[in-house]
Structures are given as C-alpha cells and as structure tokens.
C-alpha cells in the first residue's frame, strides 16, 4: 500500500533501466490504496512476485517477511520493493536482514515507511517509527542512493544498492522509536502490546459511553500514564 507521495517516489526511482528484464519482488504487495506493480511491469520486468501475509489483489504468494530468504533463496531478486510495511513488523531486524539477503549483489532495494508524528494505524499491528538517521545506520552496509522524508506526512523513503562484496551489518545496537511505548527502545514486550491495546480500548469505550467531562478526565489520566512510561 502507498500514499501518493510514496507512489511518486517509487515511479521516479524505479526507471526502465532499473527494472527492464529484472526479477522483482514486492514485500507487502496487497493493494489496499495503491501499488507500484503496474508501473514496474509496464517497464518490462522479467518476473514480478508479490508477497504478503494474507491473500488479496497483487498477492502471488503468502509469505512472512522474516521467511523470505528461506522461501525464495538468497540473492534471488534484482529489485526488492517494500512500501508501508516496516512500521508493522515487530521483529524489524529479521525483516531487514531478509530483504538484504534475497537481493542480488548490485541489486536495488526501495523501501518506504512511517516516522515519528504519524498516528497509530494497526493493520492489525503498528510498532515502529523510522527516521532518516535510523535508515542511514540500518543500510550502512549498502550504498545509499537516496534517503529522504515523505513530503506528505511523517515518513521516510529509502533506495539502497547492495554492494558486490556485501558484509551484512549487525543491527543489535540500533534502537527505534516505538509507537507502542512512545520512546526509543530495543524491543517491544508482550506486556507493552497488551497495555497499548487496553489503553486504546479504554479511549474508544469512553468516547462512546462516558459524559464528555469524564472522558476528558480519562484522557488526562492516560496522557499522564504515557508520560510515566517514557
């Protein structure tokens, strides 16, 4: 799925010389509100595989992002595309590793995701927010062709090329901002997720059934609770 800025970025970077006669995989390919697939196929991609965790328009195979290398094999694709997926992946390190692994040396990876300031949007989950500096560190083992902010809403766009002599960077030293706990952290626990769900349910319930004054008071309590966890 893509917003209009994401689509524009992808079309500008995925040119004919990049995709002509190339094997392309799109990770998170279910077409909800836009896809780069028609653009890429029109430019003559030799093979286009769309994968997602559930069936739908644009999905050729069901596959979790952390199983890409196991499913398709290492260095299987010339181009890897993933748009608006990474914020929804709890184990983002394994996901990034798999994206790099299935990419051939010299191949191109295009990725878009959300940054701090973008509201919670669970489909069904929402975990992380990435910044430009995060992406520079995450892809420091690649040649970064472009990294820029989404001009439309808080987000970041990246294009990186896998070097011929690729040595994968360990990502254990990188903490990301989590929309779940509202601070930078290394991982998210099951308890963190449960608390986030409970708070969200309380907000929705109070908005529906409580008088406005009581609802406003509950919002203040929840805001105080969020500050206590940061």
- The CATH number covering residue 47 comes to 3.40.50.150
Specify the pTM: 0.87
- Res 208: pLDDT: 64
- Res 144: pLDDT: 98
Report yes or no on 144 lying in a domain: yes
Asked whether residue 220 falls in the same domain as residue 167, the answer is: no
Mean pLDDT per 10-residue run, the chain (230 residues)?
A: 89 97 97 90 97 95 98 98 97 98 98 96 90 98 98 97 97 97 95 80 64 57 56
Helical residues (DSSP H) of the chain, grouped into ranges? 4-13, 16-19, 37-42, 68-72, 92-102, 132-138, 190-209, 212-228
Residue corresponding to tokens 């328009």: 57
- Res 49: pLDDT: 98
- Res 156: pLDDT: 98
Q: Tell which of 155, 178, 201 closes a domain.
A: 178
Phi first, then psi: give them for residue 120, nearest 5 degrees: -60, 135
Using only C-alpha atoms, the chain has a radius of gyration, in whole angstroms, of: 19
CA angle 91, 81, 164 (to 5 degrees): 90
Residue corresponding to tokens 């094999």: 73
Asked whether residue 160 falls in the same domain as residue 86, the answer is: yes
CA distances for 214 relative to 83, 182, 196, 209, 217, angstroms: 40, 24, 21, 10, 5
Residue 26 sits in which domain range?
4-178
Report yes or no on 84 lying in a domain: yes
Work out how many domains the chain is built from and give that number. 2
Q: Please say whether the beta carbons of 188 and 90 come within 8 A.
A: yes
Q: Please name which of 146, 155, 68 lies closest in space to residue 119, comparing C-alpha atoms.
A: 155
Report yes or no on 183 lying in a domain: no
Report yes or no on 218 lying in a domain: yes
Report yes or no on 136 lying in a domain: yes
Report yes or no on 114 lying in a domain: yes
49 vs 47: CA distance, rounded Å: 7
């Amino acid at each position: 799925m893509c917003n209009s800025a994401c689509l524009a970025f992808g079309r500008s970077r995925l040119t004919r010389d990049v995709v002509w006669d190339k094997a392309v995989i799109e990770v998170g390919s279910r077409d909800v509100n836009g896809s780069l697939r028609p653009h890429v196929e029109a430019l003559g991609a030799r093979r286009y595989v769309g994968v997602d965790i559930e069936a739908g328009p644009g999905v050729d195979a069901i596959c979790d992002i952390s199983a890409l290398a196991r499913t398709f094999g290492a260095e299987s694709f010339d181009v890897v595309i993933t748009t608006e997926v990474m914020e929804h992946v709890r184990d983002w390190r394994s996901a990034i590793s798999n994206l790099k692994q299935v990419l051939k040396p010299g191949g191109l990876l295009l990725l878009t995701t959300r940054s701090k300031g973008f509201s919670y949007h669970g489909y069904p989950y929402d975990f992380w927010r990435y910044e430009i500096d995060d992406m520079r560190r995450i892809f420091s083992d690649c040649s970064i062709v472009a990294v820029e902010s989404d001009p439309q809403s808080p987000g970041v766009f990246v294009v990186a090329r896998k070097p011929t002599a690729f040595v994968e960077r360990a990502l254990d030293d990188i903490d990301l901002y989590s929309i779940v706990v509202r601070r930078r952290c290394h991982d998210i626990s099951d308890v963190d997720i449960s608390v986030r769900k409970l708070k969200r349910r309380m907000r929705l319930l109070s908005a529906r059934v409580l008088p406005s004054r009581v609802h406003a008071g509950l919002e203040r309590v929840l805001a105080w609770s969020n500050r206590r966890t940061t």
